[in-house]
Amino acid sequence: MKSVFADTFYYIALLDAKDSAVRATRELDSTTVTTAWVLLELANALSASRHRTVFARFLDLLRANPNVIIYEAEKELFDRGVEIYRDREDQQWSLTDCISFVVMQREDLREALTGDRNFEQAGFRALLR
């Protein structure tokens, strides 16, 4: 089974029932890979009182899904992400994106469930653009 990276952009779209990301994922036969940092961004985006339970339930579903791999926050990934962040002053990539790129390189992933063009700038294919 093929694997794709899941970015915050995708998860926000997925939680919006009107968004086309839901349709796109129904056609996917793949494992999704993401990071604790992506999930942190998602939690921050859903920090309003009325959305907190949405995030908590969604996180439980992700953790229970055998087709979802979550890279936990570890120092090596953080430090390698900081290296990219530091080295690419010409870009406006977030540290979370830089860490995502490290994971994608580590897992030899070329495609990301995102509409974020930063992934394309880093040499990956953004499936939701």
Residue 20 belongs to what H/E stretch? helix 20-26
pLDDT of residue 29: 80
pLDDT, mean of residues 70-90: 97
Residue with tokens 């900081």: 82
Asked if residues 24 and 128 have their Cβ atoms less than 8 Å apart, the reply is yes
In whole angstroms, give the CA distance from residue 77 to residue 89. 19
Angle between helices 36-45 and 52-64 (to 10 degrees): 160
pLDDT, mean of residues 67-84: 97
pLDDT of residue 23: 66
Secondary structure of residue 45 in the 3-state scheme: helix
Q: What is the pLDDT of residues 55-73, one digit of tens each?
A: 999 999 999 999 999 999 9
For the chain, which residues make up each domain, given as ranges?
2-126
82 exposure class (CB count in 10 Å sphere: 0-12, 13-18, 19+): middle
Q: Which CATH code is given to the segment(s) 2-126?
A: 3.40.50.1010
Beta-strand relationship, 111-113 and 68-71: unpaired
pLDDT of residue 16: 81
Return the structure tokens found at 31: 């494992």
Return the structure tokens found at 98: 């830089």
Residue 129's pLDDT band (cuts 50, 70, 90): confident
